[in-house]
Amino acid sequence: MGLLEGRAAVVTGAAQGIGLEIARVFAAQGARIVLGDLNAEALEKAAAELAATGATVQTVPCDVTDAGQVDALIRACVDAHGALDVMVNNAGITRDATLRRMSEQDFDTVIDVHLKGTWLGLRAASLVMREQRRGAVVNISSLSGKIGNPGQTNYSAAKAGVVGMTKAAAKELGHLGIRVNAIQPGLIRTPLTEAMRADIWAAKESEIPLQRAGTAVEVANGALFLASDLADYVTGAVLEITGGRGI
């Protein structure tokens, strides 16, 4: 029996990177997965790869900043599987710039995708989960929201906000059997970080006690723990998966 045998899970931003890895790990543990992402083409590729491993997988092109599209994503899961057991709010972008150069648009876009997008997913999932009297929500924050990164005033603010949102929701929803937790990944090699200059990457890596960047599967394993019954008594927690960076 997998840790998520028969559970229905929605993952946003699941076409690549950490979201896709979470989908892979969840599927390998028996979950039925609904993948949401802005990038419809990459989404189909990801779904085909998962289906080839025998996973039950479905795709819904979805912009997490649009309430109607997020509601439709959740509805697709409930229509297909009669439940929503796990919701992972993972979709994300960066628009890095110093305060001198960051446009108001760059600020708004990042806040919209991370903070509003996570809230829309959390809200829609909680409406289904409260009727079921069970469910687990995993919000992907970032170490950037704990320690702050120069050039990321928008992203760090949004990711710190995700922590506050997670704790408020955990308090609000606990009596309904719904757990809400967050993960703060550190430096993880994905398409999001691939573009980083080699010298900046090396400088960041040198700050990490475990002396290397993390992998998407190491973040996905944390999401699996929080989504599964192993974390039955865990809510409102922030799990740092950072190799010890920023402690």
In the complex, minimum distance from the CB of residue 103 to ligand NAI, in angstroms, rounded to a whole number: 18
* Closest distance to ligand NAI from the beta carbon of 181 (Å): 15
Q: Give the angle 106-217-225 at the CA atoms, nearest 5°.
A: 100
- The two tokens of residue 129 are 């989960």
Closest CA to 229 of 35, 21, 29, 23: 29
The CB-of-147 to ligand NAI minimum distance in angstroms stands at 11
How far apart CA 54 and CA 88 sit, in angstroms, is 21
Residue with Cβ nearer ligand NAI (15 or 136): 15
Catalog residues that contact ligand NAI under the rule CB under 6 A: 12-13, 15-19, 37-39, 62-65, 90-93, 113, 117, 140, 142, 185, 187-188, 190-193
| E strands present in 13-131 | 32-37, 57-61, 86-89
C-beta closer to ligand NAI: residue 43 or 128: 43
Which CB, 48 or 133, lies closer to ligand NAI? 48
Q: Which of 155, 162, 214, 245 is catalytic?
A: 155
Closer CB to ligand NAI, 111 or 192, in the complex = 192
To ligand NAI, the closest distance from the beta carbon of 50 in angstroms equals: 14
User: With b meaning 16 or more CB within 10 Å and e meaning fewer, what string describes 30-45?
Assistant: ebbbbbbbbeeebbee
Are 239 and 184 a contacting pair, CB within 8 Å?
Answer: yes
What's the number of CA atoms in the CB half-sphere (13 Å) around residue 155? 22
Q: Which two tokens stand for residue 103?
A: 């446009």
Q: Which residue is nearest to ligand NAI (CB)?
A: 17
User: What residues contact residue 37 under an 8 Å CB cut-off, 6+ apart?
Assistant: 12, 13, 14, 15, 16, 19, 43, 46, 59, 61, 62, 91
140 or 173: CB nearest ligand NAI: 140
CB of 233 to ligand NAI, least distance (A): 25
Dihedrals φ, ψ of 235, to 5°? -150, 150
Note if 233 is an active site residue.
no
Enzyme catalytic residues: 155
